[in-house]
Amino acid sequence: MAPLSASSLDDCLASTQVLAFDIFGTVVDWHGSIMREMQALYPSVDANAFALAWRAGYQPAMARVRSGELGWTRIDELHRLILDDLLPAFGLAHLSEIERVHLNRVWHRLDAWPDSVTGLLRLKKKFTICSLSNGNLGLLTNMAKRAGLPWDCVLSAEVFRAYKPDPAAYLGVAHVFDLKPDQVMLCAAHQDDLAAARACGLRTAYIERPAEFGPTQLKDVSPQAGNTLHVRDMHALADAMGC
Amino acid sequence: MAPLSASSLDDCLASTQVLAFDIFGTVVDWHGSIMREMQALYPSVDANAFALAWRAGYQPAMARVRSGELGWTRIDELHRLILDDLLPAFGLAHLSEIERVHLNRVWHRLDAWPDSVTGLLRLKKKFTICSLSNGNLGLLTNMAKRAGLPWDCVLSAEVFRAYKPDPAAYLGVAHVFDLKPDQVMLCAAHQDDLAAARACGLRTAYIERPAEFGPTQLKDVSPQAGNTLHVRDMHALADAMGC
């Protein structure tokens, strides 16, 4: 797909009404937040390896729901299944139920990237802003309250009973707001999420988060064809959207 | 049910984590808002009678969904069905599609009662506050954005696919936040809504809105047994909840 010309881009942006944001990695720093909690709670554990291993279980766990192997299961429960599998390998098999419940809730306590709150506040003045995450509603609400994320509406795979990249999740946002798909823009730090949204007719904005997996293993954030926008961070998105 | 003793009330309030609010009549003034729009748009119409007639169609329309006569239908669509039925009797059969769509959206443009925003901001400092309305997510989000309602999360019958007073709506809030029903308090200006919530184990707060149906037809707001709290307005609720 050729890059959009300036006038086509203006048309796109003028018709956009709702910005839907991926959360883990895009708005909040899951890797750094989990590292910090692990270092404080269990200093003998390799916190970097632990955070990466926990997150690595995420897509396979959702795939078990998508395939029908598991019935509808919320991310809180999936995180817990992965955690219980993971603890022995990190020397934490002795953790009590209370300790496991607390640790699993770290996903409700993730810190925002430094530009997220102020950038979202700018965007909120002109657009309706919502989450569109595979995280469950309670997780996303607790996270937003703690981190100060100013959503107009918390939307989740839980509302649509469909995990991204299922089209029902992306089209569900347009349906909630009685909009055409191209009046909704998905903003995410993951090209596969954006590609699936684009296939449903949504606009897409790629947000660079090179340190998503930690500062020592920078990820490729080079532009890919097809996205409406490619921006460095939330403030660059606000600039591009005329906020 | 005997009134709660002071110490029982303290226990109740200490365990409450989430306040879920009914919207139409409780947080926003549907009657006054619709009156004002009708007077501005169609001054020859009896705006008071029109507002009351539109609202009177609401419970019967939802009953058609609850009974299964209609499949799942959002309030925006139910409001439109009622509106189309109503217009001829008010001399408005000539309204165009565009005019009908605009008028139907008045439910997204309802004004808050004067104490709602400031009272909710006080409550939000100590509790998670959410809507629990039969209104759909888009309606509630647009309303909140326009009126400044500071929800932590917009919840709706649409999320649970069950209209209040279906227990699934009340229990759905507790499930979303992984709480026991008695850790959630429904706050509403309607005793039947509160009674249904109480039957599910939720705490309940009655909020007096004597002018819900207009200042010329004040409604009975006398206390009924069983509610955890009975308060004059949102600030009195914040006082009672120790905010």
Residues A88, A175: Cα–Cα separation, whole Å: 44
For chain B, give every residue range classified as CATH 1.10.150.240. Answer: 30-108
Q: Please write the tens of the pLDDT for every residue from A97-151.
A: 999 999 999 999 999 999 999 999 999 999 999 999 999 999 999 999 999 999 9
Q: Is residue B112 a contact partner of residue B27, using CB atoms and an 8 Å limit?
A: yes
Closest-CA residue of B relative to A127 is B145
Residues A174, A172: Cα–Cα separation, whole Å: 5
Residue reference for tokens 């598991």: A70
Q: Please write the tens of the pLDDT for every residue from B124-176.
A: 999 999 999 999 999 999 999 999 999 999 999 999 999 999 999 999 999 99
Nearest by CB to B138, which of A137, A158, A177?
A177
ipTM of the complex: 0.95
For chain B, give every residue range classified as CATH 3.40.50.1000. Answer: 6-29+111-240
The side-by-side arrangement of strands in the sheet containing B153-156 is: B153-156, B128-133, B18-21, B184-188, B203-207, B229-231
Residues B237, B243: Cα–Cα separation, whole Å: 9
Q: Please write the tens of the pLDDT for every residue from B169-225.
A: 999 999 999 999 999 999 999 999 999 999 999 999 999 999 999 988 999 999 999
Mark yes or no for CB contact B177/A144 under 8 Å.
no
**Model pLDDT, residue A12:** 74
Q: Please write the tens of the pLDDT for every residue from A15-45.
A: 999 999 999 999 999 999 999 999 999 999 9
Fold of A30-108: DNA polymerase; domain 1 (1.10.150)
The residues facing A88 across adjacent strands are none
Residue B88: exposure state from Cβ atoms within 10 A (0-12, 13-18, ≥19): exposed
For chain A, give every residue range classified as CATH 3.40.50.1000. Answer: 6-29+112-240
Residues A122, B50: Cα–Cα separation, whole Å: 39
Nearest by CB to A137, which of B141, B158, B176?
B176
Q: Is B145 on the interface with A (CB under 8 A)?
A: yes
CA distance B216 to chain A (A): 35
Q: Is B153 on the interface with A (CB under 8 A)?
A: yes
The CATH label, of 3.40.50.1000, 3.40.50.2000, 3.40.50.360, 3.30.460.80, for the domain at B6-29+111-240 is 3.40.50.1000
CA distance A74 to chain B (A): 10
Q: Does domain A6-29+112-240 have CATH number 3.40.50.1000?
A: yes
* Residue A235: count of CB within 10 angstroms of its CB: 16
Residues B22, A60: Cα–Cα separation, whole Å: 39
